[in-house]
Amino acid sequence: MDTKIIQAAEKYRDDMTKFLRDMVAIPSESCQEKDVILRIKQEMEKVGFDEVRIDKMGNILGRIGHGKHVIAMDAHIDTVGIADPKLWSCDPYKGKLENGIIYGRGASDQEGGMASMVYAGKIIKDLGLEGDYTLWVTGTVQEEDCDGLCWDVIMKEKVLDPAPEIVVITEPTNLNIYRGHRGRMEICVRTHGVSCHGSAPERGKNAVYMMAKIANEIEKLNDRLHVDPFLGKGTITISYIDCKTPSLCAVPDEAYIHLDRRLTAGETEEIAVNEVKDAVKRAGFEVGKDADVEVLTYTTPSYTGYVPNFKKYYPTWVLEEDHPGCVAAVEAYKDTVGPTPKVDKWTFSTNGIATMGLHKIPTIGFGPANEIYAHTVEDQCPVDHLVKAAAFYAAFPAKYLAAIKK
């Protein structure tokens, strides 16, 4: 174990605690992250980052060092909403500290990762751990609305140039190492019927009845989807349904379903779209005439006014266990956390869909807090996790440089 790094991380326990509590106390739902971004900027400057900047989308980027090998560590700093505040046992925007655990919206998902990363930068500075690498710590926006969008912008706009050769995603892993997750897609199906008076439905063509047959085929499709031994099964489900009708005394002439498609290894956008089109055909309808199938697009402006145009296809990604990034993560874990890490995968989706899924940058995951608390009224992060994660992040760059030389 690297006692110097561990002791340095412990030294900043109180600072990390305060920083995370401050972030939790700032409401920062997707597209409303400005205030928490400015709070992060303040902390990065306080601990001595070499450069701190905010890009045109509103992501914050802090730099340590200026070496050849570019490493990025990422935390999305937007959160979901709080739903019914009466269901919370504490104020979700107070950052309550009790028995060594910080409670509140964003504590686990995933401002805890940001607190640990910033102080990892401080530890690197304190201990003189800079080497032939440039470390970028990124606080990214709109992930909850559209995971990966922020990194797609960073890459396409060359916000980081040269681009990173490895990315560490700091979403909650319960201090385990994660090397991938299923991808996902958002697909809509619209049926086109013929409206008529509800007293004589035989004169029309009910779009809801048409959709009911398609929905039945979608349910059957889910049972046939591929199973991967590591990532698990692909899935598809209807997450929303609606219709258009001239009145409640009329036959609807349009129906709509929103599909949540989870993609396992080997499943692509083309495969998933064709499967849905096949479901339409199995229901007895013609695609393009009776029904349309479409992959949706995200165009909601960021808090800076940046308007994206992002297709809601979020590719699956898996990093090989023998990749230098994974090897480095295991070694950093052994030096700072414990003897034997659990190497696993996320259940949900992360910005890794862009870093590795779209842009093929090797990506690994390690973060404080347990993902089971994400998006719940028990959102929480143990302070001990912040300390251990900071030590891990401080150790990782040197371990990565050693791994790529082997």
78 is catalytic: yes
Distance of CA 33 to the CA centre of its chain: 16
CA distance 156 to 149: 10
Residue 324: exposed, middle, or buried by beta-carbon count in 10 A (0-12, 13-18, 19+)?
A: buried
How many C-alpha atoms does 203 have within 13 Å on its Cβ side? 8
Which of 78, 152, 253, 335 is an active site residue?
Answer: 78
**Terminal-to-terminal C-alpha distance of the chain:** 21
Distance of CA 51 to the CA centre of its chain: 25
Residues 6+ apart with CB under 8 A from 132: 67, 68, 69, 401
Which of 15, 111, 143, 253 is an active site residue?
Answer: 143
CA dist list (Å): 373 to 77, 104, 172? 16, 10, 9
Residues 6+ apart with CB under 8 A from 257: 188, 189, 211, 214, 215, 218, 238, 240, 241
H-helix segments, 298-378: 324-336, 352
From 227, 202, 376, 234, select the one nearest 315 (Cα to Cα). Answer: 234
Spell out where 335-387 has E strands.
Answer: 343-344, 363-366, 380-382
- Active centre residues (catalytic): 78, 143
